[in-house]
Amino acid sequence: MRWILPLALAAFVTPATMFADEFPLTGKNTTITFVGTKPGGKHDGGFKAITGAAVVEGKDLTSLKISLEIDMESLWSDNPKLTNHLKSPDFFGIKSNPKTKFVSTKVEKAGADYKITGDMTMCGETKSLSFPATITVAGGALNITSQFAIDRTKWGMTYGQGKVDNQVKLKVSVKATK
Number of compact structural domains in the chain: 1
Q: Is residue 8 part of a domain?
A: no
Q: What is the mean pLDDT of the chain?
A: 91
Q: Is residue 128 part of a domain?
A: yes
Q: What is the CATH number of the domain that holds 45?
A: 2.40.128.110
Q: Which amino acid is at 147?
A: Q
Q: What is the pLDDT of residues 104-150, one digit of tens each?
A: 999 999 999 999 999 999 999 999 999 999 999 999 999 999 999 99
Q: Is residue 9 part of a domain?
A: no
27 phi and psi, to 5 degrees?
-65, -15
Q: Which amino acid is at 115?
A: K
Q: What is the pLDDT of residues 8-31, one digit of tens each?
A: 434 434 444 557 999 999 999 999
Q: Assign residue 160 a region: left if phi > 0, alpha if psi is -120 to 50, beta otherwise?
A: left
Would the pTM count as exceeding 0.85? yes
Q: Side by side, which strands form the sheet with 75-77?
A: 20-26, 50-57, 60-71, 99-110, 113-122, 125-138, 141-151, 167-177, 30-38, 41-47, 75-77
Q: Is residue 11 part of a domain?
A: no
CB 6 within 8 Å of CB 13: no
Q: Is residue 39 part of a domain?
A: yes
- Could you tell me the residue range of the domain that residue 61 belongs to? 19-177
Q: Is residue 26 part of a domain?
A: yes
Q: Is residue 133 part of a domain?
A: yes
Q: Is residue 30 part of a domain?
A: yes
94: how many CB neighbours lie within 10 A of its CB?
19
CB 156 within 8 Å of CB 125: yes
